[in-house]
Amino acid sequence: MATQDWGPWFQVDAGGCPADLLPVFTGEDFRRLPLASPVLRVQPDRGWVLVNKETIVSTERVEQTFRTELLGRGIDVIATPETFTYDFGDGSRDLVTRSAGRPYPDHDTFHVYDEVGTVQITLTTTWTGRYRVDGTTQWREVVGTAQTSSTSAPFSVEERRSHLVSGLCTDTPKPADC
């Protein structure tokens, strides 16, 4: 039982109507979306590349849209690829870039292998998001990110040497030094 007299009232919270409260689409909610990994492209794409020559990588910067529900309210979500991280599979430092890359000859994302061997390239894409709750016009940022990964098929890094021959290698019979 209180022994003190009642004091003056003071406002603790501005409050609001529960109907006006909007659900918050969290980073955890964002990571549950079925984000598709962007396609990883490698040039040259022939099952092998040359040591000490540029191996070009690229992908696409394409937003993905989703329609979901949270606490009984409809939500529109837009996921945007923010950064691309390439692990070239040879122990070198990862390439982290905001560029989706471009194909040859205007390429800007590439790697030079300095040893022969078999490798795979892994692309990890970091996504940011924004969402809009039904009945509102304001887009809100998702606090947190999501990631997707895709890996190339294994390919070999090879060394090729040229040498002079006495005849044409297309002659029949084929010269012995071809």
For residue range 78-107, list pLDDT tens digits in order.
Answer: 999 999 999 999 999 999 999 999 999 999
Q: What is the largest CA-CA distance in the chain?
A: 114
pLDDT digits (tens, 9 = 90+) for 151-175: 999 999 999 887 777 777 787 787 7
**Mean pLDDT over all residues of the chain?**
91
User: Percent of the chain scored above 90 by pLDDT?
Assistant: 75
Q: What pairs with residue 122 in β-bridges?
A: 87, 151
Q: What is the band of 116 on the pLDDT scale with cuts at 50, 70, 90?
A: very high
User: Percent of the chain scored above 70 by pLDDT?
Assistant: 91
- Residue 31 CA to residue 140 CA, distance in Å, equals 16
Residues 6+ apart with CB under 8 A from 32: none
Burial category of 73 from C-beta neighbours within 10 Å (exposed 0-12, middle 13-18, buried 19 and up): middle
Say how many residues make up the chain: 178
pTM of the model: 0.80
pLDDT digits (tens, 9 = 90+) for 31-85: 999 999 999 999 999 999 999 999 999 999 999 999 999 989 999 999 999 999 9
Per-residue confidence (pLDDT) for residue 41, from 0 to 100: 97
Per-residue confidence (pLDDT) for residue 19, from 0 to 100: 52
